[in-house]
Amino acid sequence: EGPVSATFGNGIVAICTGKLDDRGILRASEMVTKCPSKYESAEGSVTAEYLLENSDRLIGQELKLAGYIKTGTLVAAGQGERFIIYSQGGEVPVAYDGALPDEVKDESSIIVTGVWTDSGRFEATDIALKEVQ
């Protein structure tokens, strides 16, 4: 309810949270734009080391994983594991079939959103460069 921010308009992708009313209209309580710059904050993320140390209890949970792309592991989409992310001594294989931001390369600092699986692989749904603080 209330006015919409000037950042919203035609062609803008937004994530809306709210409830459907009796007429099927979404009454949004929150609207967030999907950042086209592909930068994201590391706030609330875990490291590869933490993920591995807490592997069993994190299976199936949606997480943000922060780290760096290990040199030499980045491959094209459609090959299963896309790259290995490392941080604080841990290394985690990441599967992702989507397009990567153009700036992503070996040693890029990234934030990966997705789910930790019982196969020991992180199934990513979104990849973003880490926002510079």
84-101: average pLDDT: 91
Which pLDDT score is estimated for 37? 46
> Please, is 130 exposed, middle or buried when counting C-beta atoms within 10 Å of its C-beta (0-12, 13-18, 19+)?
middle
91 or 102, which is more confident? 91
The pTM for the full model equals 0.67
**β-pairing, 62-69 with 81-87?**
antiparallel
Strand partners, 116: 59, 122
Neighbours of 83 (CB within 10 A): 26
Asked whether 65 and 51 are in contact (CB, 8 A), the reply is yes
47-65: average pLDDT: 93
17 or 88, which is more confident? 88
The fourth-level CATH superfamily of domain 39-130 is Nucleic acid-binding proteins (2.40.50.140)
2 pLDDT more than 60 = no
Task: Provide the CB-side half-sphere exposure for 126 (13 A, CA).
Answer: 14
Which of 27-36, 85-94, 101-110 is predicted most confidently?
Answer: 85-94
| Residue ranges per structural domain of the chain | 1-34, 39-130
Token pair for 84: 């290995």
Place of tokens 């880490």: 130
79 pLDDT more than 50 = yes
83 pLDDT more than 90 = yes
Which pLDDT score is estimated for 38? 54
Over residues 95-125, the pLDDT tens digits come to 998 888 888 899 999 999 999 999 999 999 9
Asked whether 124 and 96 are in contact (CB, 8 A), the reply is yes
